[in-house]
């Protein structure tokens, strides 16, 4: 039986901290075949029982110790560029195609319906730039050098983006420093 310890977090909920169902992982594992029945478990030990019936899934779970609820989520398909079909959830709330459904207050819906934001979107402009910078930097070798396996063209593109972000960080820093100095009564361009 599916159950949730808690699907809620303080403040505005972010995607990375949400309990999500990913249809791509289910498809890859062959779990969407009609008649399939499986338990989907999250890191916080919450779990949910899922029954596949061809063009829809039935989700069964109890939220925060409440009554067992059970409702269907429809699946849709679009043709793949390389042949075959790609499967999507139809969001139970807006019916839009989505690869992921998120749990909030006991209900599953797409990111837009739940008004979830990614970690980067929750940050202020400076923190967002620094976050983007460190993410790019993580792809490079030490001292921002080219990792052995990386193509030169990819490396150059990454480097251009790093420089671009660096310029934006400088600009943001100057704006803030300027505002601070003006508040202190110091004349600054």
Least Å distance between CB 128 and Zn ion?
A: 25
Give the residues across from 173 on adjacent strands.
Answer: none
In this structure, the strands spanning 47-52 and 56-62 are antiparallel
Least Å distance between CB 111 and Zn ion?
A: 8
Least Å distance between CB 91 and Zn ion?
A: 3
Q: What angle do CA 174, 177, 180 make, to 5 degrees?
A: 150
Give the residues across from 37 on adjacent strands.
Answer: 51
Distance CA 163, CA 156 (A): 11
Distance CA 104, CA 98 (A): 16
Least Å distance between CB 89 and Zn ion?
A: 9
Q: Which is nearer to Zn ion, 98 or 132 (CB)?
A: 98
Phi, psi of 80 (to 5 degrees): -85, 150
Q: Which residues bind Zn ion (CB under 5 A)?
A: 91, 93-94, 109-110, 113
């Amino acid at each position: 039986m599916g159950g949730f310890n808690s699907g809620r977090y303080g403040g505005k909920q972010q995607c990375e901290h949400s309990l999500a169902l990913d249809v791509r992982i289910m498809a890859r594992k062959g779990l969407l075949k009609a008649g399939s029945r499986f338990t989907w478990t999250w890191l916080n030990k919450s779990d949910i029982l899922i029954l596949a019936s061809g063009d829809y899934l039935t989700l069964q779970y109890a939220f925060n110790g409440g009554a067992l609820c059970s409702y269907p989520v429809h699946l849709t398909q679009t043709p793949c560029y390389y042949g075959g079909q790609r499967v999507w959830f139809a969001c139970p709330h807006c019916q839009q195609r989505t690869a992921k459904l998120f749990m909030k207050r006991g209900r599953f819906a797409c990111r837009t319906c739940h008004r979830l934001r990614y970690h980067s979107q929750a940050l202020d402009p400076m923190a967002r730039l620094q976050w983007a910078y460190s993410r790019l930097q993580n792809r490079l070798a030490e001292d921002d050098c080219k990792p052995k396996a990386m193509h030169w063209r990819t490396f150059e593109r990454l480097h251009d983006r790093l420089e671009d972000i660096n310029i934006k960080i400088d600009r943001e820093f100057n704006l803030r420093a300027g505002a601070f100095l003006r508040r202190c009564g110091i004349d600054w361009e």
